[in-house]
A and B are shown apart, each in its own frame.
Chain A
Amino acid sequence: KAGVTQTPRYLIKTRGQQVTLSCSPISGHRSVSWYQQTPGQGLQFLFEYFSETQRNKGNFPGRFSGRQFSNSRSEMNVSTLELGDSALYLCASSSGQVNSYEQYFGPGTRLTVT
């Protein structure tokens, strides 16, 4: 079974621009979560989507948003980029079933904001 894929792997943007990152979960998985990883703040939860609905959200400003499509693929968008948004953005996939808790991570998208 193919793992979680994320595109693009690397991205360089300018402050004030917006960016869209994409994640394809493991086949059959319906839950996608996003995390931001930075040296200063570590791994922080952004949001979780299940069946096209956001069912959990972390403590991030409204500039961070996401969505999920009917095929479970997910995108996250960051508008009005700031230098502090430079990070590794990780997508995690899980089945989303009641008794399933483990999450499987993709390789991440490295975003650099200049």
Chain B
Amino acid sequence: AQSVTQPDIHITVSEGASLELRCNYSYGATPYLFWYVQSPGQGLQLLLKYFSGDTLVQGIKGFEAEFKRSQSSFNLRKPSVHWSDAAEYFCAVASFSGSARQLTFGSGTQLTVLP
């Protein structure tokens, strides 16, 4: 069965510092991977996705992620964090059964940004 692990429950960074959020997945086939962000009281916003091709993918709000098959990882990065990036971040893998599909999420990483 597929699974996603986000080892860091909570990360604190200073505004302007770089950020890396870790994600490890377990999936038997080629993974389709996503990062979502959730602000308090809100739904999930899609930051970026990886399906195939270039292993470094760019997303919205200046985020990027790198897919490393050998490490089963899909880490999210941002070179300079803004106060508005404070939120909870979820990594997810899509799984398929015939035409049916679902997302399996990690437990999330809460990001705090210090001024």
Contact = CB atoms under 8 A, between A and B. Distances in A.
Contacts of A110: 41
Contact of A48 (B46, B92, B101): B101
* Contact residues of A: prevailing secondary structure: strand
Interface in A17-71: 31, 33, 35, 42-43, 45, 48, 50, 55-56, 58
B51 interface: yes
Nearest to A100: B101
Given A55-B99, A55-B100, A43 B43 contact: no
A105 B38 CA distance: 10
B19 to A, nearest CB: 21
Interface in B82-100: 90, 92, 94, 97-100
B13 interface: no
Interface of B: 32, 34, 36, 41-46, 49, 51, 90, 92, 94, 97-108
Given A33-B102, A45-B103, A45-B104, 10 more contacts: A35-B103, A43-B108, A48-B101, A56-B100, A58-B102, A94-B101, A101-B94, A103-B46, A105-B36, A107-B42
Minimum-distance CB pairs A-B, first 5: A56-B100, A43-B105, A105-B43, A105-B44, A55-B100
Interface of A: 4, 6, 31, 33, 35, 42-43, 45, 48, 50, 55-56, 58, 90, 92, 94, 98, 101-108, 110
